[in-house]
Structure formats: structure tokens, C-alpha cells
Amino acid sequence: MKLIIFCGTPFSGKTVLSKKLSERFGFVRIDLDEVKSEMLGDVADEVVTQAQWDNVYGEMHGRIEDYLREGKNVIQDAGNFTEYERDLVVKIGEKFGADIAIICVNILPEVAKARWLENKNSVARVDVGEEYIRDSQSRFEPPHGSNVLVVDGNLTVQEQLKQIHDKFLK
């Protein structure tokens, strides 16, 4: 049983990659933004209170536990900007004896900004403010360890999937 934890700054390509990974290898995918939307509607992250975030994270962590308890392979799709955030999910995986992998999608800030501007026009996801993007980039703590794969967000999804397969899914 595997638990794959995604991390990276906004607009790095985490969600696109996690969806393709889930489709290709049959993992259950739990997306923080989707859980938030189910619970609170399509509200901007900046207006969510701390109590609401605590409930959203609690729900997401509960779903991860439930699927791991059932022996399913799970992908957690969230920013996981800090080591603390990632460690909370790692501990859940360890509790159930899962093989844990952390995938960091890395992208240049100017590329992320271009994607953000493109999103403002297409509204493919809930809009976030430029300050949120900058704050996320400044708070991001890169992961480290043998269970970490840093994926270049500029590669094609197929190239990224091959890297993930070769490191964690052989």
C-alpha cells in the first residue's frame, strides 16, 4: 500500500499530475481544494477562517486514514508548503504501514505567475490573489530525504509520470 504526498507552490502543476497519476495507476486521489469546495463552496483561500481550515484539513486527513485502512493506494494533492504540513500526512501513512513517497513539483516563480494570469482569464480553478502566490512561494520549505522526488514542472506530464514510476512504482 502506498501513500503519495504532493507538494509545491500554487500553479506548479500538482493537480494535473496527481490526476494523471491516479488515472494511470488506480490510486484514490484526495485533493485539499476539492474537500474545501465540498465543505465551503467556491470561496477564495484568503477568506477561509482558521477554524474552517482546521475542519477541512481534519476531513482530508480522515479520508486518507479511511482509504489506507481499506488497504488502498492514496494520493494526497495539496500545497503542503511546510515540513510540518507534510509530516502530519506522513504520520498517517506510517500509522497504517504505507510506503510513503513525497513528490515535489518544482517550477520557476515567473512560470507560476504566467499560469496564474492565464487562470484569471479561464477561471479553471478558484482565483487566488497575487499576495497569496508570493506568500506561498516565500513559505515553501523544500522536502528532503530518500523518499522525495523533485519533478520539474516544465516537463510534460508523460515525462513526469515516467520519473515517478521509475522511482516509486516499479
pLDDT tens digits along 139-166: 889 999 999 999 998 899 999 999 999 9
Q: CA–CA separation, 107 vs 14, rounded Å?
A: 10
Fold that domain 2-169 belongs to in CATH: Rossmann fold (3.40.50)
One-letter identity of residue 158: Q
pLDDT tens digits along 36-53: 999 999 888 888 999 999
Mean pLDDT of the chain: 90
Please state the domain extents for the chain: 2-169
pTM of the model as a whole: 0.88
Q: CA–CA separation, 122 vs 140, rounded Å?
A: 26
pLDDT tens digits along 99-131: 999 999 998 777 766 766 676 666 555 556 666
Q: CA–CA separation, 36 vs 21, rounded Å?
A: 21
Q: Which of 20, 46, 8 is nearest to 165 (CA)?
A: 20
